Amino acid sequence: MNDIAKWEYKEKLVTANEAVASVKSGDRIYYSEFVLFPEVLDEALAKRVNELQNVSVESVCYTRMPKIVEADPTQKHFILNDWHFGGISRALHMKSLANYIPLTYHQGPRIIRKYKNYNVAFVTVGKMDARGYFNFGISNSLVSAVIDKADKIIVEVNENIPYCLGGNQESIHISRISNIVEGNMRALPEVPVNDASKTDVAIANHIMKEIEDGSCLQLGIGGLPNVIGQLIAESDLKDIGVHTEMLVDSYVDLYTGGKVTGAKKAIDKYKMAYTFALGTNKLYEFLDNNPTCASYPVNYINDPRIIALNPKVVAVNNAMEVDLFSQVCSESAGTRQISGTGGQLDFIFGAFASKGGKGIIGISSTYKDKEGKIHSRIVPTLKPGSIVTLPRSIVQYVATEFGIVMLKGKSTVERAEALISIAHPDFRDELIKQAEEMKIWEK
């Protein structure tokens, strides 16, 4: 190891309590994203709760309950903000303890560089390499922009983080770091693979008809993407490429099964390009020092102009509701924030611009409420207060277990007819009646 880097490491190494001592009232702090939550720094900051006021803390998708929230349950001292809700922020939001920051994901780094400043960044990293670099591991995302705008950068080292190769801006040199804190070195939390339902299998079978040799995939997490991965693995498809916001376990299976080569990609050829990873140890071990994979900031991966450079991009995303005007709500249940815009708009837009590309919304036709009553996800109009994640002018394909329809270039009447044709049969007559009452068409 570089002697200068080793000396600098010793000089900058402090305890977590020493590291957070510089935080002042009114400061804005950024926490590492997803499963790279800065545990020991968060715990140390929570101890200072009664000394601080109006400290704003931001991240992307908290995966652990912050100790600062437990220490300050009425939000008198710390204000929690999240760029994309998961289960933690969703629950906190219901108690008015977390705020959502609206985001079209690829614009995140630009928003930060143009409009945001941070006093301190808490960045969870892997161990320092021989040249004095700390790797961001499984979350590149917004962090490179954050450290450009942070007055002070404090890294929390976890040696269990896989070394994820770039791409670009996947690491930070020790010379840019203010302090180093050695974390608890716990294994990374795993996100288990969801079991697929019969509905997922039916939707996946319709989507499979749109995937060709040489397609470049973007899949999310959950039962439906996993089924699509399994079906591709069992198919005759070949030379699949990967350019995706989130890398999940199903891509590992496709690669090891020989389906993913990236040979037909136009950019990042032969690479699986991504901005963050979320899954099990199988995925994390696969990523470690693997030159097949390339980690990039999200302003590269999710930029629709970059996405469109690869041919035959197939982007599959889910939704909460689709109305008869073909507006898609993917992030809220009425006024209740559930997740976020994330990269859905990025990839649906980019896939359409790709030569032979297809942006697909995969959605179950129905859902059950808490009382067990069945409701249609294809609705006359979105619930009052629902957020439109995809405007109707952007939507390309919608798939349910009853079929898949392409909506580009279709009139409002044709769109409504197409959507009703893939709604659950029990709701079709009522949807037709509602379409007539709304004057979408008259029968």
pLDDT tens track for 152-166: 999 999 999 999 999
Distance (Å, rounded) from C-alpha 249 to C-alpha 254?
9
Contact yes or no for 408/352 (Cβ under 8 A): yes
Residue 443 burial by Cβ neighbours in a 10 Å radius (0-12, 13-18, 19+): exposed
Active site residues: 245
Cβ neighbors of 111 (< 8 A, separation 6 or more) are 103
Distance (Å, rounded) from C-alpha 399 to C-alpha 204?
9
Integer CA distances (angstroms), 119 to 152, 179, 219, 247, 301, in order = 6, 14, 35, 31, 27
Distance (Å, rounded) from C-alpha 112 to C-alpha 250?
32
Q: What is the pLDDT of residue 120?
A: 98
Q: What is the pLDDT of residue 442?
A: 64
Integer CA distances (angstroms), 423 to 112, 250, 382, 402, in order = 41, 28, 15, 7
Is 1's pLDDT higher than 70? no
Residue 443 binned pLDDT confidence (cut-offs 50, 70, 90): low
Integer CA distances (angstroms), 319 to 21, 330, 382, 400, 421, in order = 43, 4, 12, 11, 18
Cβ neighbors of 436 (< 8 A, separation 6 or more) are 442, 443
| Domain spans in the chain, listed from the N-terminal domain onward | 3-182, 198-437
Mapping DSSP onto H, E and C, the string for 89-136 reads: HHHHHHCCCCEECCCCHHHHHHHHHHHCCEEEEEEEECCCCCCCEEEC
Other Cβ atoms closer than 10 A to 370? 5
Is 414's pLDDT higher than 70? yes
Residue 208 burial by Cβ neighbours in a 10 Å radius (0-12, 13-18, 19+): middle
Q: Cα–Cα–Cα angle for 259, 265, 270, nearest 5°?
A: 60
Cβ neighbors of 337 (< 8 A, separation 6 or more) are 85, 90, 93, 100, 331, 387
Q: What is the pLDDT of residue 11?
A: 96
Residue 2 binned pLDDT confidence (cut-offs 50, 70, 90): confident
Is 356's pLDDT higher than 70? yes
pLDDT for 114-167, tens place per residue?
A: 999 999 999 999 999 999 999 999 999 999 999 999 999 999 999 999 999 999
Cβ neighbors of 79 (< 8 A, separation 6 or more) are 54, 55, 56, 57, 99
Q: What is the pLDDT of residue 371?
A: 92
Quote the CATH superfamily of domain 3-182.
Glutaconate Coenzyme A-transferase (3.40.1080.10)
Is 221's pLDDT higher than 90? no
Q: What is the pLDDT of residue 181?
A: 98
Assign a CATH topology to domain 198-437: Glutaconate Coenzyme A-transferase (3.40.1080)
Residue 410: strand pairing partners: none
Predicted structure pTM score = 0.96
Residue 47 binned pLDDT confidence (cut-offs 50, 70, 90): very high
Q: What is the pLDDT of residue 358?
A: 98
Q: What is the pLDDT of residue 321?
A: 97
Handedness of CA 420, 421, 424, 427 (dihedral sign): positive
pLDDT for 230-252, tens place per residue?
A: 899 999 999 999 999 999 999 99
Q: Do domains 3-182 and 198-437 have the same CATH topology?
A: yes
In the sheet where 118-125 sits, what is the strand order? 99-100, 78-82, 55-59, 28-31, 118-125, 150-157, 179-182
Mean pLDDT of the chain: 96
Question: For the chain, what percent of residues have pLDDT higher than 90?
Answer: 94
User: Which H or E run includes 29?
Assistant: strand 28-31
Is 20's pLDDT higher than 70? yes
Query: What is the average per-residue pLDDT within 261-286?
Result: 97
| Secondary structure (3-state) at 309 | coil
Other Cβ atoms closer than 10 A to 63? 18
Among all chains, which residue has been given the structure tokens 């509701």? 321
Query: What is the average per-residue pLDDT within 76-105?
Result: 96
Query: What is the average per-residue pLDDT within 409-418?
Result: 97
Phi and psi, residue 277, nearest 5°: -130, 145
Q: What is the pLDDT of residue 200?
A: 95
Query: What is the average per-residue pLDDT within 328-335?
Result: 96
Contact yes or no for 68/81 (Cβ under 8 A): no
Q: What is the DSSP letter of 175?
A: G
pLDDT for 49-81, tens place per residue?
A: 999 999 999 999 999 999 999 999 988 999 999
> What tokens were used for 28?
């804005």
CA-derived radius of gyration, the chain: 23
Q: What is the pLDDT of residue 195?
A: 81
Q: What is the DSSP letter of 239?
A: -
Distance (Å, rounded) from C-alpha 143 to C-alpha 176?
14
Distance (Å, rounded) from C-alpha 67 to C-alpha 88?
12
